[in-house]
Structure 1
Amino acid sequence: MKGISLNLVIITGFSGAGKTQALQSMEDLGFFCVDNLPPTLIEKFVDLCAQSQGKIDKAAIVCDLRVGDFFSSLNQALNDLESAGYKYEILFLEASDDVLVNRYKESRRRHPVSPKGNVLEGIHKEREFLADLRGKANKIIDSSDLTVSQMKEKIRNLFGKDYDPARMSVSVVSFGFKYGIPLDADTIIDVRFLPNPYYLEELKPMNGKDTPVRDFVLSNPTTEEFIKRFFAMLEYILPLYLKEGKSHLVIGIGCTGGQHRSVAVTEKTAEFLRTHHYSCVVNHRDIQ
C-alpha cells in the first residue's frame, strides 16, 4: 500500500445527517465513491485503487452503523491504514436531535440502532457509540440548518478544486448565542464583551459587513487589544493543529444576535488568515 497516491475520505456520522447527499456531492467533484462499505474491505478497496494505475486518485467511502457488527472493526481498519503509512481523512456528519427525529418522521424509516424502539432512543445510542470517532474526525459538518444546495456548497468548499489534504483550511462562522452554538465548531470565541452597535439607532439596522458598524467595532481600543491577542493565539496554534494532521478547523465567533460584532470580527479574522496563506471560508450564520 505504500506509495499509493490516493486522497481517501471516509464519510461517517449520524443516521439521517446527510451522508448520502455528501457522497453524491463528492461524486460530482470527481471522487470515486462507495456507499456502505464494511470496514474490513477498506484495505482491499485501496488495493484496487492502486491497481487502477492512477485512474483513481481520489476516493470517498461511506462507512456507518448500517453495516451492523462489522462497524466495530473500523478502528482496526484505520489503524491498519496508519501502520502502512497511508493517510486518510474522516468527514463526520451530524445534526441536532430534533432535526434527526423530524427527518426520520418524514422518511418513515427505522433507525438502524433502534429498529424496534423509538427514534430518539436510537439517536442517543448512536451519539454515545460514535463519540470517539467524532473526536478523530478531520472535518465535521452540522447539517441541522443546511439545505441540499448549502450542503453541496459546504462539500465543494472543503473538497473542491483547491482541495489539498496536506494544507489546512479554516472555516470562520459568525453566530448569535441566542440561536445556539454551531455544533461543528472546534473553537468558540465569545465577543459579547465588545461595544455593541445594536444600541445605536443609526447602526442597529446594519450588520458587521457595513463600514460604519465595522469601524465602530474594530476601532475601539478594547477590540484592538483583543484582536492583537486573538491573532497571536491563532499564529501559535494553527501550525500545531496542522502538525497533528488536522486539515480543517472551524472557528465560531459569537455575539448576542450574530449581526454586528461577531460579523465584523469574523471578517477581520478571515483577512488575517488569508494573509497567512490559509484557505478560509466565511459563514455568517445569523446575519439576517
Structure 2
Amino acid sequence: MERKAFAGLIVVVVAIIAIAMLAGCVEEKPKSTAEIKEMVLATAENTDTYQFEMDMTQKTLISNETDETEMTMTSTGRGAMDRTNKKMKLEMTMTIQPPEKAEIAETKEMTMDIYFINNTLYTKMDMGIPTMPSQWTKNTMPEEYWESQNQIDQQMELLNISKVELLGDEKVSDVDCYVLKLTPDLEKYWEIVMKQEGLSELMQSLKQNVSFDMGKLIKEMSIKQWIAKDTKCPVKTEVQIKMAMSSADLDLETDEEFTMTIDQRTNMFFYDYNKPVTIELPEEAESAVELPMFPPGNQTATTTA
C-alpha cells in the first residue's frame, strides 16, 4: 500500500508540474491598444532614471528653375536623466555635408556637451574651427525649464496626443516589444516640437518676416514606438518626416521662385530604467562663462532630436 500510495503521489506531482508547464506555455491574452497605452503612461510616472541614445539624418534639397542644392546633416548622441535630482547630461556629434558646389565642400563635424544641474544649463560646443576654441558657458534657467528636458515625458506627450494603432510585436536588442503606430494631432505635435531649444525663438523670428502654416508643410509623417512587453517602458521611437515648401508657401517676394524639401529620420533608444546614474559636472565647466537669461516667453528648450 505504501508503494502504491507513493507511486500515486508521484503521478499527482508529475501531473501538477505538467499542468503548470503547459499553463506557462499558453500565450498571454493579447492586450488592446488602449490597455497598452494606459499601462505605458502609468509606468512612466514611476520612472526616476534612464539613459538614452539617438541618431538623426536630415537631407535638405533646395531647387529653382536652373539649379539644385543638397545638404545632409547627421547627428548622434547619448545621455542620461535623473528625474529625482533634476540632473541631465547629453553628448552630441553633428556632421554637416555641404553642397558639392559650395566654396568649402569639406565635411564639418561639431561636438556638443550639455549638462543641466541645479537649475543651470552648462554647454560646450566645439565647431571644429581652430580660430574658435570651445568654451563652457552657462545659463541660469527658470524652474519650468526642467520639465522640457525629460525625454520620456515628451514621448508620453506624443503618445497622449496621438491615435494609436497596434502593429504587432518585434524584438529590439532581444527585448520583446509591442510596436505602436502613432498618428498625432498636428497642431499639438508642433507645440511639442516648438519646445526644442532654439526652435521657439527661430520660428517666432521667422513668422515676423514670412507667413506660413507648419501643418500644411508636412507632406509625410510616420511615428512608431516600441514598448517593452514586460516593463511597459519605451525601448525605441522612430520618427520620419518629409516637409516641402516653396517661396509661394512662405509668401516670400523673391526674384526667383524656389522649392525646398526636408527629409528627416530620427531614432531614439531608451534603456537602464531606474538604475543608478552618475551625472557630475566636469571640472572645467566650473569656470563656465555666465550668459544672460533668456527673455520671458523664450525659455522653452529641450534636448530632443
Interval containing the TM-score (normalised by the shorter chain): under 0.3
The structure having more radius of gyration, on CA atoms, is 2
Taking structure 2 as the reference length, the TM-score comes to 0.19
Instruction: Give the structure with the higher percent helix.
Output: 1
TM-score by length of 1: 0.20
The structure whose residues are more often strand, as a share, is 2
